Structure 1
Amino acid sequence: MSEAQMPVVTGGFGEMPTISFPQAEAPAGLKAVELVEGDGPVVRPGDMVTVNYHGVVWGSDVPFDSSFNRHQPATFGIGIGQVIKGWDNTVPGHNVGSRLVVSIPAEYGYGSRGIPSAGIPGGATLVFVVDIVSTTSR
């Protein structure tokens, strides 16, 4: 998969990212590109992971959710159904200290219903920039 199909992300690990979209159409399927390779422990399914993230609907510059905006990372179980499938399927296997950009089609996100109250229309492709802060085995 070419990085050219993915949004362009500026900002380094730990910095508020900016996301721009070089093409109108989202790539097909679930896509993840490691922008920064961390050198910490590998995240494994079942771990408790702490991340900073910034999420937008494909093509938008307005986040529907951002832990960067709250200045508070989020912690949750990964690979065990506590978050959307797109996260469960892309975050494990990456190291602490990594920054990812992930394109998540509706079937791995919020489906055909979306979450309109959060600004996520049905069928939306989501884009997240994810900084993996820490991981611990459960």
Structure 2
Amino acid sequence: MKISLRWLMSAGVVAIVATSCSAQEPALTTPVDQVSYLIGRNIGDTLAGDELVGEINLDVLCAALREGVAKKPMAIPPEKAQEIMQTFSMHMREKMTKLRDEQGASNQKDGAEFLAKNAKAEGWKTTDSGLQYKVITEGNGPKPTADDVVEVNYRGTLLDGKEFDSSYERGEAAVFPVGQVIQGWQEALKMMPVGSKWEVVLPSDLAYGPSGKGREIGPNAVLRFEVELLAIKEKPAAGPEGLPQVLPAAPQGNRPPRPNR
């Protein structure tokens, strides 16, 4: 769950964070301590990332929280504060653009090298689109079409092995319409007989392309998946809108994959 700073301010719970802003390890022995920790951690996770390295002084941030809770006058006049934050916003936009451009170029280079090497690896096949797959278990059931709803177990990783999503981890198979997932998934699923388990590698143009997906999947990232096609499900009367929302056809933040609306 993400908690916005606006919610924190309106709810008055910043006081919990402000009065505990120190380097000491929290005890977490009471519900108040636990809630305080989770709210503080939420703020920290929101502020974390390479783009903010060197941009925030946590000591000053904590002092400002305490001032705000105590209703002390601002050390910076409101009109000056607006000017400062506008300048900072512009600076961060430029910094983020540069970082993503650099990351995209690096991912593109690493991805091309990986795909070229993997195409020659034993057991791997490459389709005309550039999708690569390796059959681990070949099922003997029917193959789904774009109009079908399927039940799938899957695990997704980056080229460095970092896992970004897993139905195994959630303990529940994903159910979704084939036609509402990323292009590489659509292609792979339509080739898989039910009961199959494949390893699949998606070039970035069959996944999330130059936009990436949140912080987990960067621009131009090549993705690896372990895919297990469990079943073709009967279509519900309500249609795809009534299905669990899993595996997106486009990036939607830093949450578990979801289909496009």
Structure 1 residues 91-129: Cα deviation after superposition (integer angstroms, max 9, x where no partner): 113111100111101111011120133x11101000000
Give the drift of 1:57.
1.1
1:43 CA displacement: 1.9
Q: Distance in 2 between matches of 1:107 and 1:44?
A: 21
Moved more, 91-100 or 28-37: 28-37
Between Structure 1 and Structure 2, which shows a larger proportion of strand residues? 1
Is the partner of 1:95 in helix, strand or coil? coil
The alignment partner of 2:145 has SS state of coil
- Give runs of aligned pairs for residues 19-98 of structure 1, distance below 5 A: 25-27=113-115, 29-58=130-159, 60-78=160-178, 80=179, 82-98=180-196
Alignment-derived partner of residue 224 in structure 2: 127
- In structure 1, C-alpha distance between the alignment counterparts of 2:234 and 2:131, rounded to whole Å: 25
State the number of aligned residues. 111
Query: Residues 202 and 222 of structure 2 are in contact (CA less than 8 Å); yes or no, is this contact kept in structure 1?
Result: yes
Answer with 1 or 2: which has the greater Rg.
Answer: 2
* Aligned residue number for residue 38 of structure 2: none
**Paired position in structure 1 for 2:251:** none
Amino acid paired to 1:120: I
Q: Could you tell me the percent identity over the aligned residues?
A: 36
Rounded Cα–Cα distance in structure 1 between residues aligned with 2:133 and 2:146: 16
Q: In proportion to residue count, which structure has more helix?
A: 2
Contact 1:116/1:122, CA 8 A, preserved across alignment: no
Q: Which has the higher contact order (CA 8 A, sep 6+)?
A: 1
Contact map agreement 1:44 1:93 (CA 8 A) in 2:
no
In the superposition, the TM-score normalised over structure 2's length comes to 0.40
What per-residue deviation string (whole Å, max 9, x for no partner) do you get for residues 13-62 of structure 1?
xxxxxxxxxxx93215211222100122222221101100000112x222
Regions of 4+ moved over 4 Å: none
CA–CA distance in 1 between the matches of 2:136 and 2:186?
18
Q: Return the letter of the residue paired with 1:32.
A: Y
> Is there any run of 5+ residues in structure 2 with no aligned partner, and where?
1-111, 117-129, 236-261
What do you get for the CA RMSD once the two structures are aligned? 1.7
User: 1:133, CA displacement in angstroms?
Assistant: 0.6
**Mapped pair 1:107 → 2:198:** no
